[in-house]
Amino acid sequence: MTDKGPEAFRLVQKAGPSSLVESWTQVDRMETAKRQGRPALPVFMTPNMAAGLWTTAGDYARFLRYAQRFPAMNTPTIGVEGRLTWGLGWGLEMAATGRFAWHWGANDGVANLFVLDLDTGVALVVLTNGSGGQRVYERAARVHFRREFDAFTWLQP
């Protein structure tokens, strides 16, 4: 990889977290889970590809602002169903009312989502720590964007 100079480095820095998000010890995680009446694992687990994003909503929004600059992220590559496709890294929903990127994640006791309006740059990041998290993020997205999302039907268990 060739050096693109300090300006390119500053762009990369803008994609990272503004502060340390994960400074808890394993003991902190286990005690918190116990206070919530949950098992220490798998709620708090060692990061892995399927469950390793530990961040804040603000830092996640910062990352989205950076990542949307790459055209391949927003280009449909694989059809899913109806207006849903996959770009490189996130889901895409192309509707008459706009183009949206989205992604979700869920594990025992958590459910999270982002929706990004690719035309306006307006984003919503919802991070929950409850078993009803999917209902929370669906309602938040519907209210925030004033529309229904096909993605929510596709995400139903």
| Residue 152 reports pLDDT greater than 90 | yes
Count other C-beta atoms under 10 Å from residue 97's C-beta.
12
Q: Do both 148 and 107 map to the same domain?
A: yes
| pTM: predicted TM-score of the whole model, two decimal places | 0.72
Measured CA to CA, the distance from residue 71 to residue 86 in angstroms comes to: 13
* 44 and 54 Cβ atoms separated by less than 8 Å: no
Distances (CA, A) of 109 to 21, 36, 127, 130, 143: 20, 10, 11, 5, 23
Regarding whether 60 and 26 lie in a shared domain, the answer is: no
Looking at residue 3, its pLDDT comes to: 45
Are 101 and 126 in a shared domain? yes
- Determine which helix (DSSP H) or strand (DSSP E) holds 82, and give its type and residue range: none
* pLDDT average, residue stretch 47-59: 73
Residue 13 lies in a domain: no
Note whether residue 29 is domain-resident.
Answer: yes
Residue 43, pLDDT score: 47
**Same-domain check for residues 44 and 64:** no
Regarding whether 60 and 47 lie in a shared domain, the answer is no
Residue 153: per-residue pLDDT = 92
Q: What tens digit of pLDDT does each residue of 9-40 get?
A: 455 555 555 555 456 677 877 787 788 777 66
Question: Does 36 lie in the same domain as 67?
Answer: no
Whether residue 91 is found in the same domain as residue 35: no
Within the chain, residue ranges assigned H as helices are: 6-13, 26-35, 57-67, 133-145, 150-155
What pLDDT band is residue 84 in, cutting at 50, 70 and 90?
very high
> Quick one: 34 and 77 in the same domain?
no
> Do the domain assignments include residue 11?
no
More confident residue, 37 or 42: 37
Mean pLDDT over 43-66 rounds to: 75
Do residue 35 and residue 64 come from a single domain?
Answer: no
> Is 116 a member of any domain?
yes
For residue 133, being part of any structural domain is answered with: yes
Total structural domains within the chain = 2
40 plus 95 within the same structural domain = no
Which domain covers residue 107, as residue numbers?
55-157
* Percentage of residues of the chain with pLDDT beyond 70: 76
Residues 48, 100, single domain; the answer is no
Would 38 be classed as within a structural domain?
A: yes
**How is residue 143 written in tokens?**
């209210």
Whole-number pLDDT of residue 26: 74
Task: Say if residue 93 is in the same domain as residue 144.
Answer: yes
State residue 53's pLDDT score: 72
The model's pLDDT over 126-135, given as tens digits with 9 standing for 90+, comes to: 998 877 889 9
